[in-house]
Amino acid sequence: MEHSFFDAFTAFSAAEQQAQMEKALDVSSFSVAYSWMSPENIAVAPIYFSKPHESKNTLTAPPTAWKIVQAISVKGELDFVIEQVKEAISTEVDCLHFLMEDDVEDVGLLLNVIAKSNLTALFVFKGVPEDSVMVQFNALDNISVVVDFYGQYARKASWKDSEIKDQERWLSFMGHAVETPLFVNASIYANAGANLVQQMAYALAQLNSYLSLIDESALAFPSSIHVQFGQGGNYFFEIAKLTSFRFLAELIIRSYDETLTLEITAEPQKRNKTTTDYNVNLLRTTTEVMSGVLGGANRILNHPYDLRFNPPNAFGDRIARNQLQLLKHESYFDKLPNVVEGSYYLETIVKEMKDKGWAQFLSLEEKGGWLVALESNEIQSQIEQVREAEKMRFKAGQQILVGTNRYVAESGLSASAKSKKKIPVASCSPFTPLQTVYLSNDDES
């Protein structure tokens, strides 16, 4: 009979291991002194043990392959946009996400450039495009047009026409193009300052509002759902956020239609990027896209390190692409298994985030759903409380942002940082819009 090498070692219980660590650390109990509480009210212990009685309840395995995405803002003249597209095509980019900033009526030349490549493209419009624009997208493969009109309402605090008319226009858009994905840009919550559980809950509630609207209108459900998340610097928690969200979102999605598929896009959040020691942004975006990969995102979108203080430029775009290509082709981040399984720490965080995220989602639904919570300022108020607490930790040095409130190099101050421009706060409706708010509420502090 063969024996395992590990048979020679004595197994110790969790209580025995804890007692040994307390002895080594010379403390009566390390559970308090060596623990910390996350902004999501999740207590993080210094060590975790296997809990075999807890079942692994993952509905679908996270994707083993992910696509490199480049985001391109489309506004004004298209000459620079077309140059960006041609540059992306010449590199190993898999997808292009076009952010339609202005009403661009003639995108024919741009579409011709894309059609000649093998890239897939997602055009993200702020509102439903006119028929004259949509007709240019017809019969084009690998190109999708999406509209998050609820997300735009949350940003601007106003409808384009009215709630009913905007809903009718969006339903007509979805009804005439069944292959058009349902799109939710949950990055707005991260950039407004929401903690990770809030981001999950609000995204779930907004997704459910869309699905309910389609269901009540007796429309065919779209073939896929795209949700975009902003990733922050709490590395392991960000991994757990995406893993937890996928599980909970699929519970909701399958209650409407078993055939719907979910795709998650991960991007670095904007609110923690600095204009002082701005090269540190390269480190931040690297860990943030890494957490997106390990959290199971289908698409990874990176931002240029100089996004905060420079207009779009070829150098910033190239560096952002290179970061993703290094992860994928040289670090083999496209060949990793499900890293959550077997990590007691991550498995515990995932379970707690699922429970807290689902509870907060149900609380919103019981009060009327996402739209009611937004218009009553409940969502904004919850985010404001979290953001103010974070701001106090930031100013007290308890929350460190390297290059901004710790290890600041005076030589790294940019012209943008020195100008101390205030972030404008719009107010055009009875409720507060969700906006990108930086840690210090100005360019730097």
Q: What is the spatial distance between Cα 238 and Cα 224, in angstroms, rounded to a whole number? A: 24
Q: Which domain range does residue 278 map to?
A: 67-344
**pLDDT in the model for residue 428:** 39
The token pair at 431 is 């409720």
Identify the bridge partners of residue 74 per DSSP, sorted by sequence position.
Answer: 100
- Report the run of H or E that residue 123 belongs to, with start and end: strand 120-125
**pLDDT in the model for residue 275:** 83
Residue 374 counted as domain residue = no
Residue 390 counted as domain residue = no
Q: Is 274 helix (H, G, I), strand (E, B) or coil?
A: coil
**pLDDT in the model for residue 397:** 81
Say if strands 36-37 and 43-44 run parallel, antiparallel, or are unpaired: antiparallel
Q: Is 372 helix (H, G, I), strand (E, B) or coil?
A: helix
**pLDDT in the model for residue 425:** 32
Is the CB of residue 364 less than 8 Å from the CB of residue 201?
yes
**pLDDT in the model for residue 444:** 41
Q: How many helices (H) and strands (E) does the chain have?
A: 16, 10
Nearest to 434 by CA among 186, 249, 161: 186
- Report the run of H or E that residue 346 belongs to, with start and end: helix 344-366
**pLDDT in the model for residue 427:** 35
Residue 222 counted as domain residue = yes
The angle, 0 to 180 degrees and rounded to 10, between the axes of the packed helices 149-156 and 163-176 is: 150
Residue 148 counted as domain residue = yes
Question: Residue 136: which CATH number?
Answer: 3.20.20.240
Q: What is the spatial distance between Cα 242 and Cα 195, in angstroms, rounded to a whole number? A: 13
The token pair at 189 is 């919550």
The token pair at 349 is 């965080």
**pLDDT in the model for residue 338:** 77
**pLDDT in the model for residue 413:** 47
Q: What is the spatial distance between Cα 369 and Cα 103, in angstroms, rounded to a whole number? A: 31
Per-residue pLDDT of the chain (445 residues; tens, 9 = 90+): 566 666 777 777 777 877 887 788 777 665 555 678 899 999 888 778 776 445 555 555 666 789 999 999 998 788 889 999 999 999 989 999 999 986 676 788 888 888 888 889 999 999 998 888 888 887 677 889 999 999 999 999 899 899 999 999 999 999 886 578 999 999 999 999 999 999 999 999 999 999 999 999 999 999 899 999 999 999 999 999 999 999 999 999 999 998 899 999 999 999 988 887 788 899 999 999 999 999 999 999 999 999 988 998 999 999 999 999 999 989 888 887 777 777 889 999 999 999 999 999 999 999 999 999 999 999 999 999 999 998 888 888 888 888 777 777 665 444 444 443 333 333 335 667 888 887 754 444 3
The pTM (predicted TM-score) of the whole model is 0.89
What's the structural domain count of the chain? Answer: 1
* Alpha helices in 90-234, H assignment, sequence order: 108-115, 131-134, 149-156, 163-176, 187-192, 196-216
**pLDDT in the model for residue 343:** 84
Residue 421 counted as domain residue = no
Residue 401 counted as domain residue = no
Is the CB of residue 87 less than 8 Å from the CB of residue 315?
no
Residue 278 counted as domain residue = yes
Residue 167 counted as domain residue = yes
Q: What is the spatial distance between Cα 135 and Cα 271, in angstroms, rounded to a whole number? A: 37
